[in-house]
Amino acid sequence: MTLALEIISPERLLLARQVSMVVIPGTEGDLGILPEHAKLITSLRGGMIDIYEDDEIIDRFFVSGGFAEITETRCTVLADEIMKLADINRDTAAEQLAAAETEYRDVDEADPTAWRNASDRLITAQARIDALAHQ
Amino acid sequence: MPSLKSLRNRISSVKSTQKITKAMKMVAAAKLRRAQSQAEAAQPYATRMASMMAALAQGAASNPNAPKLLVGTGADKRHLIVAVTADRGLAGPFNSSLSRAAKARVRALQAEGKTVQLFAVGRKGRDSFRRDMADIMMGDVNFVGRKTVEFKDAEAIADRIIAAFNDGQFDVCTLMFNKFVSVMVQTVAETPLIPAAGGPANDNEKPEQSGTADYEIEPDDGSLLDRLLPRNLAIQIYRALLESSAGFYASQMTAMDGASRNAGDMINRLTMNYNRTRQANITRELIEIISGAEAL
């Protein structure tokens, strides 16, 4: 029993293959998706997507946010920005974290959308730094 | 009767023009291939996004607190038209047909008593609108000097539109662009951007029919839509930009093909003319020589 996984960025279809399990970073916590999962639509926070084949991680991606649509047989990840774990650049990641921290500090808390965007970006930047530890 | 020298000059100048148009055609063909594959690559995301939107919008459209981006402000008074043209010309009627359609649309809306604003994407459209509609221009962007359009560009445009919408500058937003039908045909297309749901028109459809209602939603409908709607807007714009750029190169290729053929015809005509003139000169000289010899 396998699950059809699709990872799509706005520019292109990045990956489409059968996998036994995938772990995606939902906004409410990481989700391990196996075949026969209940139908679900969720937004994603910045974090790692781990692709499993027979209990082993065969591929790891870093996603900066997006959405996922899950059905019993299929998991579609619509990623904002996605890269292979190995492609994360330490210096750029540090710069992005610094920028996100500044933005979060200066954001107008009365504006809920701006505040949410800033905090999303901060979480993503922090997750990117954390992901470096797994490289 | 033009002199032989001036005919020779004209032939060589038309020939070099033809060389340029031929080269432009080849370049446009290569760029068209790239633009087409870029547009195809962007297709899966847009398709999935649309199905996800449909699943969520069904439930949310009837909700009185539905996001304004989805259902609109409830008014239909102030319009924003986003017109996508190219930055360069020499592409047949590509830019002019879009500007004309956009202007016609603006006048039609104004005749209905609505306030209209224009947002121009692409330099050619901007120049055309500035000439006779400068007072209603909200803003413009162009990609002069850029090789390809990226999703970030579309996102930047979407951000500006959403910011203006949240600021209460307009109620309805429509996107106009050249749709790539085939290499020979590009038609002007319109897509509603705001409200995304096309108003409460889908009330009369049965909500459960597509079976999308049984999705679990995380974190919840409202906050998911808050994230999804701006994204969807950016995707729509991105698709329009890609279609428009593929259409532009197709149109340019067709135009340059026609130009090369016309130049070829012209060269033939001029060469014929040149040869006739040359022969007439020879004949005249011969007559002069013969009649001179006879007179002796």
Best mutation target among B38, B157, B218, B238 (most A Cβ atoms within 10 Å) is: B218
Q: Residues B115, B203: one domain?
A: yes
| Residue corresponding to tokens 């998706």 | A33
- Tell me the mean pLDDT per 10 residues along chain B, length 296: 89 96 96 94 91 79 77 87 93 93 95 94 94 90 88 93 91 94 92 72 40 73 85 93 95 96 97 95 95 91
Q: What is the percentage of chain A residues whose pLDDT exceeds 90?
A: 45
What pLDDT shows up at residue B115?
Answer: 93
Residues of A69-95 as b/e, b for ≥16 C-beta within 10 angstroms? bbbeeebbbbbbbbbebeebeeeebee
> What CATH number is attached to the domain comprising B288?
1.10.287.80
B37 Cβ contact partners less than 8 Å away, ≥ 6 residues apart: none
Read off the pLDDT of residues A57-74 as tens digits, 9 standing for 90 and up.
999 999 999 999 999 999
Q: Residues B215, B291: one domain?
A: no
Write the ipTM. 0.84
Q: Report the range of poorest mean pLDDT among A94-98, A101-105, B47-51, B219-223.
A: B219-223
> What CATH number is attached to the domain comprising B169?
3.40.1380.10
- Cβ distance A39 to B44 less than 8 Å, yes or no, reads no
- Cβ distance A67 to B228 less than 8 Å, yes or no, reads yes
Please state the pTM of the whole predicted model.
0.86
Interface contact B228, partner A, CB < 8 A: yes
Interface contact A26, partner B, CB < 8 A: yes
Distance of alpha carbon B55 from alpha carbon B121, whole angstroms = 31
Domain that holds residue B148: 28-255
SS3 B113: coil
- Residue B2 dihedral angles phi and psi, to the nearest 5°: -65, 150
Which is more confidently placed, B10 or A117?
Answer: B10
Helix axes B221-295, B43-61, angle to 10 degrees: 140
Interface of B with A in 273-292 (CB under 8 A): none
Q: Residues B191, B127: one domain?
A: yes
Interface contact A72, partner B, CB < 8 A: no
Q: Residues B54, B175: one domain?
A: yes
